[in-house]
Amino acid sequence: MSCFGCFSPRRKDVSKVEIDNGTTRSSGSGRGRGHFDDTESGKGKGKGGNSAQKSVARSFTFRELAAATKGFKEVNLIGEGGFGRVYKGRLEAGQVVAVKQLNHDGLQGFQEFIVEVLMLSLLHHTNLVTLIGYCTDGDQRLLVYEYMPRGSLEDHLFDLKPDQEPLCWDTRIKIAVGAARGLEYLHCKANPPVIYRDLKSANILLDDHFNPKLSDFGLAKLGPVGDNTHVSTRVMGTYGYCAPEYAMSGKLTLKSDIYSFGVVMLELITGKKAIDNTMKQGEQNLVAWSRPFLKDRRKFVQLVDPLLQGRFPTRCLHHAVAITAMCLQEQPTFRPLISDIVVALEYLASQNHKPGRAGVHSPISSSPSQQHRDTFSRESDYRMSSTSG
């Protein structure tokens, strides 16, 4: 599919990186001036969660970043893809950072570079990665981000190492909630709204406590305003995550991001990749493979990642699958708003699963609020729509 900017970053074991680990410091002083600035998470603010630090992205010299990464040594390489390479580095002040060096002829061009700098200079939220600075010396294009020690979500879902612990159910829901909150900020708090356009597991980064942050905003677009219903644009994104109506017509809406979120939810539930060409015919496209299961409540359990070994609350699984099915509706108008998704997922996250006997779920400690009841009532309507469609 040549119309898609497909790239799958390859990550490297960061434990061997030749830089001392240290506590990440504040990304700088000063406040961003853009009217996007809003660190309030609204409904999406987690318990005890701190607002993202607002800071002005600073300009680095190439020499500074070369020193930070010890000359871009191979041992400090932590990821690479069609866009370029990502290195772990330490700034002169001691802050540990991730430095993305763009290929001159890579998939992320100069326009995407400018978009990412502008977007992350104006957008500030706990669940968005912090841009610390950039470099434009000569023909060099580099971006400097806060360092996320646990890498990306895909590193913890697919192709696990023999000694790597799979994500438990609670952590998967926690990641889904955080990603949804970040998307809610883009859709509902930013003015005008922002369409992320590249939501995928590789772009959801994780800190030490598995708190997620959305990254890579080079493809982000300002959403429709006024009476406009969509933005017409060249089709970009990653195959397997793009909404069908956007892939076919180039008409981009906020609901395009909702579809992509549904794909990520499906990956969290199944442990399968959105596109996996190593699978047999009929199972390579995750959404297409899952459709029969999403339409039959009795088959929901067959979607679950075997690595969970049955340790998940059945009732919460049913709700999570129902939310996923709603997001993956073929008709964009049938997909829910991200604010409704956040409400539903926050309720699921409140039902902490106490691992015990496989297949046994923890009791519901309290009945859901009226808002949660309304949200789950809408889920039933969407399931009916999906089944009859």
pLDDT digits 0-9 by tens, 289-323: 999 999 999 999 999 999 999 999 999 999 999 99
pLDDT of residue 235: 65
Mean per-residue pLDDT, 95-106:
87
What superfamily in CATH does domain 153-388 come from? Answer: Transferase(Phosphotransferase) domain 1 (1.10.510.10)
Strand partners, 231: 252
pLDDT of residue 375: 53
Per-residue pLDDT tens over the stretch 183-238: 999 999 999 999 999 999 999 999 999 999 999 898 888 876 555 555 656 667 68
354-376 b/e (C-beta count within 10 Å ≥ 16 → b): eeeeeeebeeeeeebeeebeebb
Of the pLDDT bands very low, low, confident and very high (cuts 50, 70, 90), residue 371 is: low
Is pLDDT above 90 for 115? Answer: no
Tokens matching residue 257:
């991001």
Phi, psi (degrees; rounded to nearest 5) at 241: -110, -20
Dist. CA 199–CA 213, nearest whole Å: 11
In the chain, domain spans:
10-146, 153-388
DSSP one-letter code for 235: -
Catalytic residues: 198
CATH T-level fold of 10-146: Phosphorylase Kinase; domain 1 (3.30.200)
pLDDT of residue 364: 33
Of the pLDDT bands very low, low, confident and very high (cuts 50, 70, 90), residue 275 is: very high
Is pLDDT above 90 for 132? Answer: yes
pLDDT of residue 383: 46
Average pLDDT score over the chain: 80
Dist. CA 177–CA 179, nearest whole Å: 6
pLDDT of residue 104: 75
pLDDT of residue 174: 98
Dist. CA 102–CA 86, nearest whole Å: 9
Strand partners, 12: none
Q: Is the pTM of this model over 0.95?
A: no
Tokens matching residue 110:
């100069």
Is pLDDT above 90 for 372? Answer: no
Mean per-residue pLDDT, 334-361:
80
Higher pLDDT, 324 or 7: 324
Distance from the Cα of residue 266 to its chain's centroid: 13
Residue-wise DSSP of 143-163:
EEEE--TT-BGGGGTSS--TT
Mean per-residue pLDDT, 1-18:
40
H/E segment holding residue 297: none
Equal CATH topology for 10-146 and 153-388? no
Q: Are 11 and 79 in contact (CB under 8 A)?
A: yes
Per-residue pLDDT tens over the stretch 29-63: 333 334 444 444 444 444 434 445 566 789 999 99
Q: Are 241 and 214 in contact (CB under 8 A)?
A: no
| pLDDT above 90: percentage of residues in the chain | 60
Dist. CA 126–CA 123, nearest whole Å: 10
* Residues written for the chain: 389
Distance from the Cα of residue 59 to its chain's centroid: 26
Give the three-class secondary structure for 231. strand
Dist. CA 375–CA 353, nearest whole Å: 21
pLDDT of residue 355: 59
Question: Mean pLDDT lowest for which of 117-126, 143-152, 223-232, 357-366?
Answer: 357-366
Question: Is residue 255 part of an annotated ligand binding site?
Answer: no
Q: Are 358 and 311 in contact (CB under 8 A)?
A: yes
Residue-wise DSSP of 107-118:
SS-HHHHHHHHH
| pLDDT above 70: percentage of residues in the chain | 71
